[in-house]
Amino acid sequence: MAYVDKSAVDDAAFRLSEATAADFVELLKPRVMSLVVFTAFVGLAIAPASLNPFLALVSIAAIAIGAGASGALNMWYDADIDAVMSRTASRPVPSGRVTPGAALAFGLVLSALSVMTLGLVANWLAAAMLAFTIFFYAVIYTIWLKRSTPQNIVIGGAAGAFPPMIGWTAATGTIGMESVLLFLVVFLWTPPHFWALALFKSGDYERAGVPMMPNVAGEASTRRQIFAYSLLVAASGVLPAAFGYSSWAYGLAAALLGAGFVRYAWDVLVAGATDLKPAKALFGYSLLYLFAIFALVLVDHIAMRMLG
Amino acid sequence: MIMAKQSDREFVTMTEQQKRARRNRSVALGLGLAALVIVFYVVTILKVDPSALFNRQM
């Protein structure tokens, strides 16, 4: 039995929560977190400095929770948009399982906790970068850019690109050129990845009033921009080898993966207006591409260290 | 949600689902806090002496 302020007892203003822990975990966007864990781990593992394995593990967890916290803040602010999009309507806030206030508090507490933990465990430069990433995703992207410009995902993509840099900085205490190249790969990969999604979900974004590229510049322009970005993605994947940080074996594999990306983007470019299959195929391939590039960077560094 | 008037206060009797959800959240919060205590304990030891948990002579 719980005591309740009488002034608040009415169905509209008051209800007891039926949210479970799983609903709060869902606020963290676990699928995005898994990508953050992987890219941050690669950044940390290839850094030319060693961190105690347990401290490294806690650092990766802090970066992941920081990313999850920004996801919770995004779901708090975007509940109105999420409610009218088929892909996001069942999220905890629009479905009513978690109140907006609880999502906001959850995001803010985890943001502070993750930044403080990373600062204490690794270093304060990495913690400052994590804090900036959370701010960038929650405020610059979610609150400002997402509803105001079709370039939202281009600029906002920086937030998703920071984790490998933060992982690197957690190990070294500095910002390295090699980690900047990994940032560049994710940053340039983000627009074609999300515009491919927007092509086959443009109705969703239009209903929600989100100015994504297909419903602002048109689908033909979006297809052209996807293809242009795919060339940049393919080039960025090879950069670690071009700068001498990775072997030419990596460079060759990255070039082949990049050629695949360009091929899928070409299919999107020449597809008919009603043919959504190439966009779906590119979306799927782009996920595979990013995972493969980071896995190759990791394997290549391990091999180079073992071979001396 | 059932409300019962007792003196000048109003109380709410939680439904079974609400009770289960609250218990679920409480257990998760408790486990999370316990994990945090262990993590900070180990981190503190490692920060004070990085070789404390490894390379220890038995």
Which pTM value belongs to this model? 0.90
pLDDT score, position A273 = 78
Q: Which residue of B has its CA nearest to A15?
A: B1
Q: Are A66 and A133 in contact (CB under 8 A)?
A: yes
Q: Could A4 and B13 be called an inter-chain contact, meaning their C-beta atoms sit closer than 8 Å?
A: no
pLDDT one-digit tens code per residue, A183-232: 999 999 999 999 999 998 878 888 888 999 998 999 999 999 999 999 99
Q: Which residue of A has its CA nearest to B25?
A: A21
Please give the Cα distance from A186 to B32 (Å, whole number). 31
Distance from CA of B14 to the nearest CA of A (A): 6
Whether residue B2 is predicted with pLDDT greater than 80 in this model: the reply is no
Whether residue A295 is predicted with pLDDT greater than 70 in this model: the reply is yes
Q: What is the DSSP letter of B15?
A: P
Average pLDDT along chain A? 93
pLDDT band at B5 (very low <50, low <70, confident <90, very high): low
Residues from chain A that touch B50, judged by Cβ atoms under 8 A, are: 52
Segment among A183-187, A275-279, B9-13 with least mean pLDDT? B9-13
- Interface contact B26, partner A, CB < 8 A: no
| HSE-CB of A200 using CA atoms within 13 angstroms | 18
* ipTM over cut 0.95: no
pLDDT one-digit tens code per residue, A157-179: 999 999 999 999 999 999 999 99
Distance from CA of B58 to the nearest CA of A (A): 21
Give the residue among A184, A179, A301, A185 at the shortest CA–CA distance from A247. A301
B2 strand-pairing partners: B13
Q: Could A3 and B3 be called an inter-chain contact, meaning their C-beta atoms sit closer than 8 Å?
A: no
pLDDT one-digit tens code per residue, A136-148: 999 999 999 999 9
Residues from chain B that touch A20, judged by Cβ atoms under 8 A, are: 21, 24-25
